Structure 1
Amino acid sequence: MTSVKPSDYDSVAAAYTADNEKNLFNAYYERPATLALAGDVAGRRILDAGCGAGPLFAALRDQGAIVSGIDASAGMLEQARLRLGGDADLRVADLADPLPFSDNEFDDVIASLVLHYLEDWGPTLAEMRRVLKPGGRLIASVNHPTAEYCIERLAGRRPDYFETYAAPAEWPVGDQTVKVTFWSRPLHAMTDAFTAAGFRISAISEPQPVPEARELFPDDFHLMATAPSFLFFVLEAC
């Protein structure tokens, strides 16, 4: 199984965290959409899988959830501890490996923009199903397959949409550039992986950025509002 190297984020953790707090994609689009799909989380035990610097963890905790967070990057977890305090349950763990939790431990697992770093979803989804209670939810967001395909075409590559293929990307973060590899797959491959792991699909969502983003990001809002960048799932553990 292939995943992003932890060091890719360790070196830019502080700059990445600062950008994530205020950018259009995360702060005004993906994170609000994930929280809306989660709904009332008061009293629910939630695993934030790939928690990064903890903005989603903090929002869920503020709403009364009991949250644990894991991330492969120790540098990102250092940023999370600065935000969340020393008593927050934060652990270095790679989603490509077995999860450090007992069976049936969580009401929800939230995987926010992390699954697309993995070439093979099977073992990771099986572990997420294992740590969820029966009837628990997996709420996941991923790069939208059609958006990823269009990006690859614009870069001069012509991948087969119906195959799972590597999509390299470079992100400017502060004064550095992070090189990552996403794994793009068609929608049917995603849904097949979910059902094979023991999940029932409750919802598939293609939300809009929040309304206040229109004034804050006038140059980019129209593009985001008319062409989805991410795809969201709510899945029930059977």
Structure 2
Amino acid sequence: MRISAGPDTPDGERTDYDDFAAAYSAENESSVFNAHYERPAMLDLAGDVAGRRVLDVGCGTGPLSLALRERGASVAGFDRSAAMVDLARRRLGDGADLRVADLAAPLPYADDSFDDAVASLVLHYLEDWAGPLAELRRVLRPGGRLLVSTNHPAAYPIVYPEADYFAVTRYSEDHTFDGRPVVLTFWHRPLHAMSGAFADAGFRTLRIAEPPPALDTPAARLPPGLPPSGRFMCFLFWVLEAR
């Protein structure tokens, strides 16, 4: 899928997500990979956020923003899709600081505005990481954290054995959201390219995580043949510190 500019951006275009925002939201509420794996893992890595200022990067329809707010954080969020932001406002209320903004452009926040930023399954849609990471570093205070989840780079050569793992590569996959077929387009990055981009942007890696699914995950919906650890290769999680 091409992530195009949102309707409130200068060129007035719609994003692809505007066309299936409701279907995506419905799927996100209960899917194994979102509701029982990525989101619980991100919240676990975030830890105690009470009283912290947190930016939800690519907030979508707001489930992570709501969970962080319920844990005591002061949350702001943005997304390129106006339809997604509208659904997030319905979830969090009209007073929530939710905006239509583009991670590939200057963000509408002052320097050092946040203690943490969470970027859940966002960066793997972008070919260029340098500008977006520079903006996230700018809006984080020194010592603030950036928490990132991305498609696991080691899964790419498993799914596509003839692909070049070491090349930054564009690829597309068929997905279904609430019964609606959608083509998503991603950018594969090898591990060294990810860590290098974070370092170049002024971040120090504190932790890399490959967590198991949450304990409440329906067993029948997990991939078959899992090892005793319950882990499976899906997403890679980073905890980074702004230097």
TM-score range, shorter chain: over 0.9
Task: Provide the rounded CA distance (Å) in 1 between the counterparts of 2:222 and 2:135.
Answer: 41
**Cα gap change, 1:54/1:167 in structure 2, threshold over 3 Å: closer, same or farther?**
same
TM-score, normalization by structure 2: 0.91
> Cα RMSD between the aligned structures?
1.8
Helix, strand or coil for the counterpart of 1:161? Answer: coil
Per-residue deviation, 1:216: 5.5
Alignment match, 1:44: 52
Alignment match, 1:119: 127
- Residue correspondence of structure 1 range 151-230 to structure 2 within 5 A: 151-153=159-161, 158-215=162-219, 217=221, 222=226, 225-230=230-235
2:15 matches 1:11: no
Structure with the largest fraction of helix? 1
CA contact (8 A) 2:119 2:148 kept: yes
2:77 matches 1:69: yes
Task: Provide the rounded CA distance (Å) in 2 between the counterparts of 1:141 and 1:3.
Answer: 19
Q: 4+ runs of 1 displaced by more than 6 Å?
A: none
Task: Provide the rounded CA distance (Å) in 2 between the counterparts of 1:235 and 1:219.
Answer: 29
| Paired residues, number | 233
Helix, strand or coil for the counterpart of 2:66? Answer: helix
Task: Provide the rounded CA distance (Å) in 2 between the counterparts of 1:107 and 1:59.
Answer: 17
**Cα gap change, 1:4/1:151 in structure 2, threshold over 3 Å: closer, same or farther?**
farther
Which of these residues, 228, 234, 241, is aligned with residue 236 of structure 1? 241
Q: List gaps (5 residues or longer) in structure 1.
A: none
Task: Provide the rounded CA distance (Å) in 2 between the counterparts of 1:3 and 1:13.
Answer: 15
Task: Provide the rounded CA distance (Å) in 2 between the counterparts of 1:99 and 1:111.
Answer: 14
Task: Provide the rounded CA distance (Å) in 2 between the counterparts of 1:221 and 1:68.
Answer: 40
TM-score, normalization by structure 1: 0.93
The superposition leaves residues 153-197 of structure 1 with CA deviations (integer Å, 9 ceiling, x where unpaired) of 3xxxx2210110001122122343222210001000000000000
Helix, strand or coil for the counterpart of 2:154? Answer: helix
**Cα gap change, 1:46/1:221 in structure 2, threshold over 3 Å: closer, same or farther?**
farther
Task: Provide the rounded CA distance (Å) in 1 between the counterparts of 2:77 and 2:201.
Answer: 22
Q: List gaps (5 residues or longer) in structure 2.
A: 7-14
| Farther off after superposition, 142-151 or 58-67 | 142-151
Per-residue deviation, 1:115: 0.3
CA contact (8 A) 1:139 1:232 kept: yes
CA contact (8 A) 1:8 1:180 kept: no
Per-residue deviation, 1:221: 8.3
CA contact (8 A) 1:8 1:179 kept: no
Task: Provide the rounded CA distance (Å) in 2 between the counterparts of 1:175 and 1:74.
Answer: 22
Helix, strand or coil for the counterpart of 1:228? Answer: coil
The superposition leaves residues 55-79 of structure 1 with CA deviations (integer Å, 9 ceiling, x where unpaired) of 0000000011000000000111111
- Residue correspondence of structure 1 range 61-100 to structure 2 within 5 A: 61-100=69-108
Helix, strand or coil for the counterpart of 2:233? Answer: coil
Helix, strand or coil for the counterpart of 2:104? Answer: coil
